[in-house]
Chain A
Amino acid sequence: MSEFFHMGGYAAYLWPAYLLTFAVLGWNVLSARRALREARAEARRRLTADREDGA
């Protein structure tokens, strides 16, 4: 197992590269979902504001 993590002496380059790439994948998932959530919340706020104006 420790041999696996050692990666033939390239651990110091290989694992940061993998970590960074998966951080980028994770950021993309989270930021896209956040954008959609915020757009929905904003649309809902506007609808409520419009209703109150009309009343």
Chain B
Amino acid sequence: MDWTWFHKFGSPPHVYRLAGTLTPWFAWPAGILIIAALYGGLVLAPPDYQQGDGFRIIYVHAPSAWLSTMVYAVMASAAAVGLIWRMKVAHAVAASCAGVGASFTAASLVTGMLWGEPMWGTWWVWDPRLVAQLVLLFLFLGYIGLRSAIDDLGRADRASAVLAIVGVVNLPIIRYSVEWWNSIHQTPSVMKMDRPSMPMDMLAPLLMMLLGFTLFFVAVLLVRLRAEVLRRERGAAWVKEVVS
């Protein structure tokens, strides 16, 4: 098997240039999808028969929650690759994920509260799903805090990678909390084995939002990755070419 592609992904100048080339290919579709989904979700989708127009919070809540766990999975996988194959670029990917993940986890929690108050009659309950999502926020913040507390970059990479990998146990807890325990939170409507329990004009904007947020994350990750790679490669000869 030809492994040159793998080595190329380990080469900082290659990653820096490739990330720069790819960014607009993710950013523009993300922007278009999110704006179209906004129109579909707020204007075209009919009100829910139980929740009226209140259900439309789903179009910002579900994509934020999806990103929060997806970003964590990417962060932990990159951290594992960095730890196992001592690949510096993988550590740079993991480090670039943390801030994005924390921000969308916070968004999912607050939009969830804004949905919970009118529908459940409470902003917050100590419910398994909600607690697991709060733990996810602390994992992201802990990861960021740990990195900034260690001056040596190599040690910061390794220590934070271990934390990220250990925290993966929280992901299935978030996913299955609504099925394992008697949760106030509803079970999945879209990401389940049988057909989604939603009419198409409600579902289409949601799927577009989910895809739009995912592409948005990739675009932001690519920009942050370039910054991270540049910071790590200060002294390298190729840096001279790309910044002057």
Contact = CB atoms under 8 A, between A and B. Distances in A.
Given A20-B107, A20-B111, A43-B243, A28 B53 contact: no
Contacts of A18: 60
Interface of B is mostly: helix
A30 B110 CA distance: 21
B107 A21 contact: yes
A32 B224 contact: yes
Contacts of B226: 36, 39
B99 A31 contact: yes
Contacts of A14: 53-54, 56-57, 114
Contacts of B136: none
Counting chain B residues whose Cβ lies within 8 A of the other chain, the interface size class is 35 or more
Nearest to B216: A25
A21 B243 contact: no
Interface of A: 4, 7-10, 13-14, 16-18, 20-22, 24-25, 27-29, 31-33, 35-36, 38-40, 42-44, 46-47
30 contacts: A7-B54, A7-B56, A8-B54, A9-B52, A9-B53, A10-B57, A13-B114, A14-B57, A14-B114, A17-B110, A17-B111, A17-B115, A20-B110, A21-B60, A21-B111, A24-B64, A24-B104, A25-B216, A28-B220, A29-B220, A31-B99, A32-B220, A35-B224, A36-B224, A39-B226, A39-B228, A39-B230, A42-B230, A47-B240, A47-B243
Given A9-B52, A13-B54, 5 more contacts: A7-B56, A13-B114, A14-B54, A20-B107, A35-B224
Interface of B: 34, 42-43, 47, 52-54, 56-57, 60-61, 63-64, 99-100, 103-104, 106-107, 110-111, 114-115, 117-118, 216, 220, 223-224, 226-228, 230-231, 234-235, 239-240, 243-244
